[in-house]
Amino acid sequence: MRMTFRWFGEGNDTVPLRYITQIPGTEGIVWSLHDVPAGEEWPMDKIMEVKAQAEAAGLHIDVVESVNVHEDIKLGLPSRDRYIHNYKETIKKLGQVGVKVICYNFMPIFDWLRTDLHKETEDGSTALFYEKSRIDGTDPFELVRVINENSALTMPGWEPERLQHLSTLFEAYRGVTEEDLWTNLSYFLHEIIPVAAENGITMAIHPDDPPWSIFGLPRIMTSHANFSRFLSLYDHPANGITLCSGSLGANPENDIIAMIHDFKDRIPFAHIRNVRVFDNGDFIETSHRSQDGTVDIAGIMKAYHDIGYTGYARPDHGRHIWDEKCRPGYGLYDRALGIMHLWGLWDAYRYEAGQGGQAK
């Protein structure tokens, strides 16, 4: 397992790179060019800038999250070919600088969605929270306004420039079904996977978060069956999955341990985090420990251990603890604790299997 840490870029993240280097066993950043709009080709000089910064801190840039997919591609519009062309050019450039995995998602309009970015918990920490009834009965425009007002830093997928076109986007998705989305995803994969393969890159789709339809928009990367279907759309090792335990775990019917075993050769990147799901469908993000949420993180790490996982991993979101001021979900403290918990489990399983306490 190769541990990484998401970093949003100089001036765009509260965590300095040298702090990341100091987290035990953490070898690389998970990065993106957050100021390049979806659909545009990434400029080489900006890619090189991040590479130089990371390497100066002793970290690699093997994993990119995300190269965002333009809405016209998800919608299957004729203009998609221009954006797919740009996507391929970006893949080629990332291959040239040694990137190995590109994480992306295929969610219409919204990336991950929560109703509260700072929900107070019993111990005084705050965490990302999803209140189902508020989403079910809410006007999406109002929600976007509130979320953006409460966030000091713009979150990926929530760029104000993009969201001001929200009504046009909703209009465009009217009548687009899940089957349409599958067709458009398949078209995209057939275009980009060969380019990724030629350039030494594995594409890794992220599950939808939460893994169900919101505001009537279609969502397909939600379940075991749908991930199987995804892998068979283009059956090639360069067509992989970012297995995110927190996103999939928001639906307790998802058996993540079974997915790790069934998809074992197709998981280049693991997001590992816990959530607590309540009976009414609400969920809150918690510490990584199995006891603190409803996702069995210890069982998940055992599964990764048992398949001999050699891919990349990151702790994904954390709570906001010790009064840290940070991007929602992306502080230093809880994610660093998460990494140590994951390594603790990993090392114990290795030790137990006679693979040595000091093995990687």
| List of residues contacting Mn ion (CB under 5 A) | 244, 271, 316
Write down the catalytic residue from 330, 334, 341, 347.
330
Least separation in angstroms between CB 128 and Mn ion = 11
Quick check: 100 and 268 in contact, CB under 8 A?
yes
Write down the catalytic residue from 13, 116, 209, 316.
316
Q: Which does 337 bind (CB under 5 to 8 A by kind): Mn ion, ligand DNO, none?
A: none
Q: Which does 111 bind (CB under 5 to 8 A by kind): ligand DNO, Mn ion, none?
A: ligand DNO
Q: Which does 319 bind (CB under 5 to 8 A by kind): Mn ion, ligand DNO, none?
A: none
Q: Which does 116 bind (CB under 5 to 8 A by kind): ligand DNO, Mn ion, none?
A: none
CB of 3 or CB of 84, closer to Mn ion: 3
Annotation says 282 is catalytic: no
Least separation in angstroms between CB 221 and ligand DNO = 10
Annotation says 118 is catalytic: no
Write down the catalytic residue from 13, 103, 206, 304.
206
Q: How far, in Å, CA of 265 to CA of 179, rounded?
A: 26
Write down the catalytic residue from 72, 104, 234, 244.
244
Annotation says 45 is catalytic: no
Annotation says 349 is catalytic: no
Annotation says 317 is catalytic: yes
Q: In the complex, which residues of this chain contact ligand DNO (CB under 6 A)?
A: 65-66, 103-105, 111-112, 206, 209, 244, 246-247, 271, 316
CB of 140 or CB of 315, closer to ligand DNO: 315
CB of 31 or CB of 263, closer to ligand DNO: 31
Write down the catalytic residue from 13, 234, 271, 304.
271
SS3 327: coil
**Residue closest to 240 by CA, chosen among 111, 112, 107, 103:** 103
Annotation says 330 is catalytic: yes
For residue 198, the Cα-to-chain-centroid distance in whole angstroms is 24
Least separation in angstroms between CB 329 and ligand DNO = 8
CB of 72 or CB of 209, closer to ligand DNO: 209
CB of 84 or CB of 147, closer to Mn ion: 147
CB of 224 or CB of 350, closer to ligand DNO: 224
CB of 2 or CB of 271, closer to ligand DNO: 271
SS3 13: coil
SS3 string, the chain, reads CEEEEECCCCCCCCCCHHHHHCCCCEEEEEECCCCCCCCCCCCHHHHHHHHHHHHHCCCEEEEEECCCCCHHHHHCCCCHHHHHHHHHHHHHHHHHCCCCEEEECCCCCCCCCCCEEEEECCCCCEEEEECHHHHHCCCHHHHHHHHHHCCCCCCCCCCHHHHCCHHHHHHHHCCCCHHHHHHHHHHHHHHHHHHHHHCCCEEEECCCCCCCCCCCCCCCCCCHHHHHHHHHHCCCCCEEEEEEHHHHHCCCCCCHHHHHHHCHHHCCEEECCCEEECCCCCEEECCCCHHHCCCCHHHHHHHHHHCCCCCEEECCCCCECCCCCCCCCCCCHHHHHHHHHHHHHHHHHHHHCCCCCCCC
Least separation in angstroms between CB 205 and ligand DNO = 8
Write down the catalytic residue from 70, 288, 305, 317.
317
Q: How far, in Å, CA of 204 to CA of 20, rounded?
A: 23
List the catalytic residues: 206, 244, 271, 316-317, 330
